[in-house]
Amino acid sequence: MRPAAGALAALALFPPLLWACAPKAEAPPAYLTLDCAQPFEAQKAAITAQPLNAAPGDPAEPYSFYSSPDGKTSYLITEPGAPGHPAIMMQQARGGEVITTGCPYGDKARYDDLHAYLDGLKHWRRK
């Protein structure tokens, strides 16, 4: 048997040797879940330290929005003057649904209004 033919025969018999050399796919990054026991500023700093895309600021909206590059995880962080401030909310896309969770650090009733507003955006459609 010629050397090249012998090498091909060995690869056919031992395909796992090929797999060991193939680059491994990176696992998608895991984004922080909310920990409402953390102070607002500490949690805000931890969230914004992640590799997220920040939405452009809108003077009419007193919130900062951050999303994962794949769009499956988003955060809303209130700014001073926002209803329910201080508060942080998180939305995650899972199984065809968008799950909203959050941490009310300020007025609970105003936070509930903010939660309802954010949940309402999930169903908004451009006409």
Tell me the pLDDT of the chain (127 aa) as tens digits. Answer: 555 544 444 444 555 544 555 566 666 678 999 999 999 999 999 999 999 999 998 888 899 999 999 999 999 999 998 888 999 999 998 888 889 999 999 999 999 998 988 888 776 555 5
**Main-chain dihedrals φ then ψ at residue 107, nearest 5 degrees:** -65, 120
pTM of the model: 0.74
Neighbours of 95 (CB within 10 A): 5
Rounded CA separation 29/45 (Å): 18
Rounded CA separation 127/125 (Å): 6
